[in-house]
Amino acid sequence: MCIKIMKKNTIIISGLTVMMHLSLSCNKIQDVATDLLISDEQEIELGTQYKAQIEADSDDYPLYTAKTDYNQNLVKYIDSIGRNIARHQDDRDIDFTFTVIDNDTVVNAFAVPGGFVYIYTGLIKSARNEAEIAGVLAHEIGHITNRHGAKQMVKQFGISTLLDVLVGDSSAVRTVMDISSGLLFLKYSKENEFEADSSSVEYLIKTGYNPSGMKTFLEFLADMGGGTASKLATFLSTHPPTDERIKAVERIIGRKSSDIQNRSITDVKYSP
Residues that bind Zn ion (CB under 5 A): 193, 196, 239
Cα separation, 135 vs 75, whole angstroms: 17
Of 23, 175, 190, 52, which Cα lies nearest the Cα of 112? 52
In the bound state with Zn ion, the residue whose beta carbon lies nearer, of 196 and 204, is 196
In the bound state with Zn ion, the residue whose beta carbon lies nearer, of 13 and 133, is 133
Cα separation, 84 vs 226, whole angstroms: 35
Find the shortest distance in angstroms from Cβ 231 to Zn ion: 18
Cα separation, 235 vs 164, whole angstroms: 32
Find the shortest distance in angstroms from Cβ 144 to Zn ion: 11
In the bound state with Zn ion, the residue whose beta carbon lies nearer, of 29 and 196, is 196
Cα separation, 212 vs 209, whole angstroms: 9
Neighbours of 125 (CB within 10 A): 12
Find the shortest distance in angstroms from Cβ 118 to Zn ion: 13
List residues bridging with 111 in a β-sheet. Answer: 117
Alpha-carbon distance values, 19 to 29, 137, 198, 221 (Å): 8, 34, 26, 41
In the bound state with Zn ion, the residue whose beta carbon lies nearer, of 173 and 186, is 186
In the bound state with Zn ion, the residue whose beta carbon lies nearer, of 78 and 196, is 196
Kind of pairing between the strands at 116-120 and 109-112 = antiparallel
